[in-house]
Amino acid sequence: MVKTVKSILVFLITFSIMLLSVSCGSSGPAGPRDAVIELFGAMEKDDQAALAHLLDLSALMKNSEFDYALSTEDEPRQFTSPIEILEDMTGEGLTKKRWFSFQRIVSEVEMFGETATVEVTFVDKKSSEGYRTKFGVHVVNDKWKIYTFKVE
């Protein structure tokens, strides 16, 4: 009888610890840094649906000042639809090719209420040169979304 009670107690304690760890692990929406890390994961998997949930596509469409594909071209590319952005960031898209030719390091986050910047460094392994930028992330419908790949 005592053995059975001990077994039940051990089971209940183990179960309680498991429940506590699961509930602590999913405490609220992902933060701005998580959104950037998830972006690279979705790009790697060519998951356009996930990208659409991580990106503020309407804000990205308004970009006309720079080409976020780390391009050295004089004129930035202009996207005329959200689908073009998603295709550029998956498969054989220029942005995916360029970004994945570098090591990507996601580091510092600066919070400004419901807006944040996430520092991302792209490192060319061959030349050991790095290109640092800050992704702009803001809250849209209680979720962090990337609205720009270059914050001045």
Tokens of 31: 């933060």
The 8-class DSSP code of residue 142 comes to T
Which pTM was predicted? Answer: 0.76
Domain 29-148, what fold?
Nuclear Transport Factor 2; Chain: A, (3.10.450)
Tokens of 3: 């053995």
Residue 77 has a pLDDT of 77
Helix, strand or coil for residue 69?
coil
Residue 80 has a pLDDT of 83
Tokens of 105: 């390091």
Residue 119's pLDDT band, with cuts at 50, 70 and 90, is very high
Averaged pLDDT, 116-142:
93
Averaged pLDDT, 58-84:
76
Q: For the chain, give every domain's residue range.
A: 29-148
Residue pLDDT, tens place only, 5-45:
455 544 445 444 544 444 344 444 579 999 999 999 999 99
H-state helical runs in the chain: 2-25, 32-44, 48-54, 57-61, 82-88, 94-100
Residue 72 has a pLDDT of 54
In angstroms, what CA-CA distances link 110 with 48, 101, 136?
27, 27, 10
Mean residue pLDDT of the chain comes to 82
Residue pLDDT, tens place only, 79-112:
888 999 999 999 999 999 999 999 999 999 999 9
Of 4 and 26, more confident: 4
For residue 103, the tally of other CB atoms under 10 A from its CB is 11
Q: Which residues, at least 6 apart from 40, have a Cβ–Cβ distance to it below 8 Å?
A: 99, 104, 106
Of 59 and 63, more confident: 59
